[in-house]
Amino acid sequence: MTSDNLQDKVDITFIGAGPTGLFGAFYAGLRGLSVKLIDALPQPGGQLRALYPEKTILDVPGFPAVKADNLVGELQKQALQWNPILCLEERALGLSPLHNAVGCDDPLCWEIQTDRAIHPTRAVVITAGIGAFEPIRLDIPSLKKYEGRGVDYFIQDVDAYSGARVLVVGGGDSAVDWATNLSRTAEHVTLIHRRDGFRAFESSVRDLYASPVDIKTHYELKAIHGSDHIESVTISQNKTGEEETLQMDRIYLALGFKANLGALKNWGLETTNQRYIKVNARMETNLEGVYAAGDIALEEDQDPLNLIVTGFSEAAVAVNHAYARLVEEGSVFPGHTSSRAVPL
């Protein structure tokens, strides 16, 4: 399948409009490239806006603390100043070279097939976050009954927890941060974790222990009780087997997500560690003119960091190297933005 709209070809297309894709779109516009963003979600922002809009983020330069939704809003404003083409609610399904297409004499010419259109582009940067994902669920028979009726896997409306008795399950950043944040407005928050230590920033753990949250380590959720809505839960101490019943109104399961590459697995991309697209130091994949950045990209023999700030850096690296390939005698080094006029 080839595109009949090669005149609509852009210089660079980002697959994924999360923080990395938005910053990459801004940076490509800064270098004078025409840009398109494709995302399956109805609005830009990726996981931050879809899953954690109320989460407080502490590790982005220039923001001592910023709500995820506000950070995305600023990134969107920054990217849109260059008028990129936004293609939302489109799921990328395929990627094919267009080297031999009629009207395409560009050695770096690709087409991206989505469930709604075909998009010709000179270069591709895959910024799809963790790819296709679904929440990790506990093997509790009554769990599904309460999903959407008190059991949540992400928090979009923090006001829904105001005055409630809340159980948070998990030991990572989301569990620790949300337990602390919810304790400010909830009637009571209990955090249970099956292990002793927490996998979260040290400062966040300190804030947790300084909060009124009831912290119970080596505990697991065993059962949920109630009629139409949650009324109580049974938790179990996994060292002694002792069980305890707690009165609860809501449960937030912060157990992470199962991620996979989805349709990207069929694009001929080399992968590493099962769920990452393999890249080199220039963020190049094994496909010429196709780059990857952010949580979905990983250099061989490196440990994944999966941080917003590293995604920003990788997006800039990918764009600058793409620019050098797309522009005759183009330089990887962009110069300093302080020496040029930019829109305000």
d(CA 151, CA 126): 33
DSSP three-state, residue 11: strand
Inter-CA distances, 129 with 27, 47, 233, Å: 18, 8, 34
d(CA 175, CA 324): 43
What pLDDT, on a 0 to 100 scale, did the predictor assign at position 7? 56
What pLDDT, on a 0 to 100 scale, did the predictor assign at position 264? 92
d(CA 39, CA 20): 12
**Common-topology check for domains 6-132+258-339 and 137-255:** yes
Which of the residue ranges 98-102, 175-179, 218-222 would you say has the lowest mean pLDDT?
Answer: 98-102
State pLDDT tens for residues 140-163. Answer: 988 989 998 899 998 878 899 999
Average pLDDT, rounded, for the chain:
90
d(CA 90, CA 82): 21
Asked if 17 and 134 count as a contact pair (C-beta separation under 8 A), the reply is no
Asked if 290 and 124 count as a contact pair (C-beta separation under 8 A), the reply is yes
137-255 in CATH: which number? 3.50.50.60
DSSP three-state, residue 33: coil
Q: Distance between the two ends of the chain, CA-based, in angstroms?
A: 41
What pLDDT, on a 0 to 100 scale, did the predictor assign at position 93? 95
Q: What is the CA radius of gyration of the chain?
A: 23
Residue type, 284: E
d(CA 117, CA 263): 16
H/E element holding 13? strand 10-15
36, two tokens: 């398109």
What pLDDT, on a 0 to 100 scale, did the predictor assign at position 105? 57
State pLDDT tens for residues 29-81. Answer: 999 999 999 998 889 999 888 777 878 898 999 999 999 999 999 999 999 99
E strands, 144-249, where?
Answer: 151-152, 165-169, 188-193, 214-217, 219-226, 230-237, 243-247
The stretch 315-321 carries a mean pLDDT of: 98
What pLDDT, on a 0 to 100 scale, did the predictor assign at position 256? 84
* Chain-centroid distance, C-alpha 204: 20
Residue 195 CB coordination number (10 Å): 11
6-132+258-339 classified as CATH 3.50.50.60: yes
What pLDDT, on a 0 to 100 scale, did the predictor assign at position 3? 42
- Confidence label for 261 from pLDDT (cuts 50, 70 and 90): confident
Give me the residue spans of the domains in the chain. 6-132+258-339, 137-255
Give the closest residue to 20 by CA, choosing from 298, 322, 319, 315. 315
Rounded percentage of the chain residues whose pLDDT exceeds 70? 92
What pLDDT, on a 0 to 100 scale, did the predictor assign at position 108? 64
Phi/psi at 300 (nearest 5 deg)? -60, 140
